[in-house]
Amino acid sequence: MKKRPLLAIAAVLLQAVMPAVSQTAGSDMADSSAYVRTALVRPRAKADHSAEIEKLLRQMTLEEKVGQMTQLTIDMVTKGKDQQVEIDPEKLEKAIVKYGVGSILNVTNQALTLDHWHRIIGPIQQAAKRSRLKIPVIYGVDSIHGANYVQGATLFPQQLGMAATWNPALMQRSAEIAAMETRAAGIPWSFSPVLDVGRHAMWPRLWETFGEDPYLATVMGTVFVRGLEGQDVSSGKHVASSLKHFVGYSFPLTGRDRTPSYIPEYALREFFLPPFAAAVKAGARTVMVNSAEINGVPGHINKHLLTDVLQNELGFDGFIVTDWEDIKKLVTQWHVATDEKEATRLAILAGNDMSMVPLSYSFSDLLIELVKENKVPMSRINDAVRRILRVKFELGLFTDAMPDHSLRANFGKSEYPAIALQSARESITLLQNKNNILPLAKDKKILVTGPTADSMISLNNGWTYVWQGSEPWLYPKDKPTVQAAIGEKLGGGKVTFVPGTRIVRKANSTSNNNPTNIDQEVDIPTAVAAAKAVDAVVLCLGEGSYTEHPGNIDDLTLPWIQLKLAEAIITTGKPVVIVLVEGRPRIINRVANKVDGIVMAYNPGNEGGHAIADVIFGDYNPDGKLPITYPRSPGYFPTYDVQRFERASGSDPAFLPQFEFGHGLSYTTFQYSDLKISPTSIRANDTVNVSFSIKNTGTRAGKETAILYVRDEIASMTPAQKRVRRFAKVYLEPGQSKTLTFSLGREDLSFIGSDNKPVIEPGEFTVMVGPLSGKFNLK
């Protein structure tokens, strides 16, 4: 059969990401994936600034060009720290006027107010106006789950939680709000979204991904980009995105951050590249590089991936930025270069356009030397600078780079918290509900206990006000923790809180002395005594905050002190509901079957306390579904799309996760019926339509995510048991039904062959949705 390049597949993904939906009753499809289809295919208008860019390039000296390729951290232009950080005029003059630095990033230690950000950004752009060619600076921060480095900004669930909503409309809206609140601070560039596909349960950045499925990550990642960049990225409502971390970063062999991955190219293209390909097609302006290595080649010198694939094959015309200090690490960590000068040469020739140096001028000095020594051609420098200038023009920075005080009107709007709350509610996933223990009655006496019960830190995780999200005093005082939200809801002295255990942060010599989380016992006997005096227990377990290497762990099992608390509470015989507030699926097999209810909350953000209480007490009917496979044991981390024999009856070992990908219960029931496949025999370029009905057969209104899987029965590369190809989230009143129709094309039936190119082969295919399945043939 004819093969098609990955870029063509990305284009079709953008056009066919969402289903066509017809319905037999009702009209509320606002929460369906169909919401986004028009937004995804709308053309992205990019003004042509070629003439202006080429004019500038002709005027620029080598030093000015290299300056544009240099990114420094805020510490290089400021003095003081925390809320006392201010511009240092002498440092600023050196960076912007003398060296012509093109980009600044980061915060010193913590989030700043809007006013404070304006006091930082304004002088930086004024300094740029004093430079010879007056080229504005592009400032970037990690707006990961909202404008998390701006005090008072709206914070949403982290990406793994947003994936659990299966609601692209909410993802796009949250990204739009993040963009507006970031731009209001005078910052036009966000280092997000994370498009790494999270297929290793131990990886400490799993919660920053959209989970283990490439299609779900593609859909959610693309609407994230659209929300950030909009149709006019120069407007005061949008910012440039940065797709990270290109590519394969999320599948380290050991599960530890920034450690080697071994991924055959066919698997890289099948599982890890599609979200990047689609986001590039959607117009993403920048890409950040994988800080680790693949197959023995560090990401920052992988010319095949950065130049051959990203730029040439996918057609990426924005600029590529390194991650933190990663050119230096080619010498100190990866040992692929004898010194920083050689590392700089390798990185620039591989395709990096901007170096996040970020604490010295070594990159600028060394790159200038390399060009003068003819070791890096001027053509490569011009290409990099051309890309950087293009993004600056598209952002409107040449028109006005100064902070716009009028954009305050877009910050902290009264409707934003409700959107964050709805996102948190839809993310929460009911994993277990024995004897319909949930929802709990509001007239019962409740004990709330556990280390995440009274923690805003756990609700948010890293990238929250500081890098590690670890400073409790920075969190808003008007947002309740889980125990506080339950207390508010029930009132009248019905709620008792005893922590039982706690999570503290201590320096760890194995993590460069960065503080890591340590679990400590506080008052387990007191918690047990309190449990005996109530009707039910809400036991909040999970993790503190972390990201990157401070989050490395040796064992995915929930810390033993939390399991000790859980087992002690269970012995009281009272009904127990576990609430998991965590960024990755910690192993709970010792206690999972001994409790009545299990709720997965992920990291739901500042509105998470309210959202969890709403679900537990029935004010919101849960509709989240797992975007990961929840493992049962610490030595076996399967993904849902394992090969067929791994799921076969009697297989050794058996495919037996704690909870499967796509699992999520509701307080109502849904019935799937009337599966129709038409036609049942197609050719390679034909379309097959799959329709089915969903009916709410329970007594409560609720939302159901219909996930359509396809299996290729026989293929030249061992086929997966099933792969997600479409999904839609529908709202149904009791007794209401809707008919959904999905259209599948050749890209939904193709796979990456042994020659690393997409191929489609004739044969039988099985379609699965809910409990239904049917077949069709490809001639």
* Residue in 151, 140, 154, 156 with CA at minimum distance from that of residue 192: 140
Q: Is the pLDDT of residue 28 over 50?
A: no
Q: Dig out the tokens for 451 from the structure.
A: 């280390």
Catalytic residue list contains 323: yes
Instruction: Label each residue of 93-148 as H, E or C.
Output: HHHHHHCCCCEEECCCCCCECHHHHHHHHHHHHHHHHHCCCCCCCEEEECCCCECC
* Residue in 540, 538, 543, 541 with CA at minimum distance from that of residue 596: 538
Q: Where residue 654 falls among pLDDT bands split at 50, 70, 90? A: confident
- CA–CA gap between residue 609 and residue 454 (Å, rounded): 9
Q: Terminal CA-to-CA distance of the chain, rounded, Å? A: 10
Averaged pLDDT, 21-41: 39
Judge contact between 220 and 237, C-beta under 8 A: no
Q: Where residue 9 falls among pLDDT bands split at 50, 70, 90? A: very low
pLDDT at 38: 43
* Beta bridge pairs of residue 751: 759
Residue 151's identity, in one-letter code, is Q
Helix (H, G, I), strand (E, B) or coil at 303: helix
Q: Dig out the tokens for 15 from the structure.
A: 């056009």
What DSSP designation does 34 have?
G
Instruction: Look at strands 103-105 and 286-289 and give their pairing.
Output: unpaired
pLDDT at 152: 96
Instruction: Look at strands 495-498 and 446-449 and give their pairing.
Output: parallel
Q: Which residue has the tokens 């006496």?
A: 445
pLDDT tens digits, residue range 230-286? Answer: 999 999 999 999 999 999 999 999 999 999 999 999 999 999 999 999 999 999 999
For residue 615, which phi and psi values (nearest 5 degrees)? -70, -45
Q: Where residue 426 falls among pLDDT bands split at 50, 70, 90? A: very high
Helix locations, 262-377, DSSP H? 265-267, 274-281, 303, 329-332, 340-350, 362-372
pLDDT tens digits, residue range 461-472? Answer: 999 999 999 999
Alpha-carbon torsion angle 552, 558, 560, 566, nearest 10: 160
Other beta carbons within 10 angstroms of residue 229's beta carbon come to 26
pLDDT at 29: 42
Q: How far is CA 675 from the centre of its chain?
A: 33
Q: Pick the more confident residue, 597 or 507.
A: 597
Q: Where residue 343 falls among pLDDT bands split at 50, 70, 90? A: very high
Q: Dig out the tokens for 313 from the structure.
A: 């094959």
What is the residue-averaged pLDDT of the chain?
Answer: 93
pLDDT at 645: 84
- Using alpha carbons, list the distances in angstroms from residue 709 to 326, 673, 683, 760: 39, 16, 20, 17
- CA–CA gap between residue 647 and residue 653 (Å, rounded): 9
- CA–CA gap between residue 764 and residue 720 (Å, rounded): 14
Averaged pLDDT, 710-717: 96
> What percent of the chain has pLDDT above 90?
89
pLDDT at 378: 98
Global pTM reads 0.95
- CA–CA gap between residue 64 and residue 749 (Å, rounded): 50
- CA–CA gap between residue 181 and residue 743 (Å, rounded): 37
Among 257, 323, 614, 623, which one carries the catalytic annotation? 323
